[in-house]
Amino acid sequence: MKTYNKLVRDKIPDLISRNGQMCKVKKLNQVEYYRELRTKLKEELNEYLETENDEEAIEELSDVLEIIHALSKIHGKEFKDIERIRQKKLEERGGFNEQIYLINVEELS
């Protein structure tokens, strides 16, 4: 028996069952759910950082995005609210497309 003790996608228990296996699950309360979403975000981000090709990277980024959707609901917003804020920041500060790397800032007298 392998122990996971981690948040999984909603259909995973059904997929396990269809694979002829049994699993034990529990429903998390809001505090536990929030904590586990944050843990899952770290896990998926680390998996993204360890990818070795574009296909793997996109797969992991989709997992990160799914977690962001769930976290936005925890914070009382929808993903469209995050997207609206992202767009505003893009207009005001720009994006990251120009590949600008800030080295230092010197105070002028």
Average pLDDT over residues 53-74: 98
Residue 46: per-residue pLDDT: 98
Give just the sign of the alpha carbon dihedral 47, 48, 54, 56.
positive
Task: Specify the residue for token string 């990160």.
Answer: 64
Residue 109: per-residue pLDDT: 83
With beta carbons less than 8 A apart as the criterion, state whether 6 and 36 touch. Answer: yes
Provide the percentage of residues in the chain whose pLDDT is more than 70.
Answer: 100
Q: Is the pLDDT of residue 96 over 90?
A: yes
Q: Is the pLDDT of residue 10 over 90?
A: yes
CA angle 45, 49, 54 (to 5 degrees): 110
With beta carbons less than 8 A apart as the criterion, state whether 68 and 82 touch. Answer: yes
Quick one: which of 63, 68, 67, 28 has its CA closest to 47?
Answer: 63
Residue 6: per-residue pLDDT: 97
Q: Is the pLDDT of residue 61 over 90?
A: yes
